Structure 1
Amino acid sequence: MTRIISRRDVVVGAGAGALIAGMPAMAQPRAGLDLSELLARQFEESLSLSPELATFMGIDTGSRATLRARLHDHSMSGAEAINHLEQRQLRELKAIAEAGLSPEQRLEREVTIF
């Protein structure tokens, strides 16, 4: 028995094929964007606990100008805060799958994890 293919079948099939073919391309920019956003946020978090770094780098201006008036907390609780921050940041980095990253982004992720 021969089945006649309708125009609707062709359109639905073509749409599904295009969607599936485009999925890897759509996933890659999102993963890369997530990595860039994550690293930028983590950098800002690290600056908040080590404000002298912003001054050393010459980036204690604009929205970071308040860092000029602060010093690193060298107490035990300050060290614990840095440890907790770094452990959380490491978990976040490892949670980003390499599959959707470009070779450069994979390297950036691995170097940051190291």
Structure 2
Amino acid sequence: MNSDLFLDWLKHLVHHVKPSAEDPILLGADNHSTHCSLPVILFCRNNHITFLSLPPHSSHFIQPLDKELFAPLKAAYASEAEKWLIQQPEEVIRLTDVAGISKEAYTATA
């Protein structure tokens, strides 16, 4: 990612979301240097985007589900998928198997 690519992405966002003075948008992003360039800030100001730059290492405060539910769920799903593959070494996980594996992972996590 670089500032030019991020600016291109912002233009794409504006084209599809169409923010206005009556209907502005709030865009939250991490504190990456590509997000904080002068062209990006000016573009946001001119296109009714309030840009919120989050402090480094703070997403777990703002998105507690990422830390408290989704990370453990992801780990539990990986563990359950590995168990499933060990029990059926000649098989691959198919879409029809995902629900059962997910149920076991969710039950272990929740």
Q: Judging by fraction of residues, say which structure has more strand.
A: 2
Which is higher, the Rg of structure 1 or of structure 2? 1
Same-fold call, TM cutoff 0.5: no
TM-score (norm 1): 0.28
User: More relative contact order in 1 or in 2 (CA 8 Å, sep 6+)?
Assistant: 1
Normalization by structure 2: what TM-score? 0.29
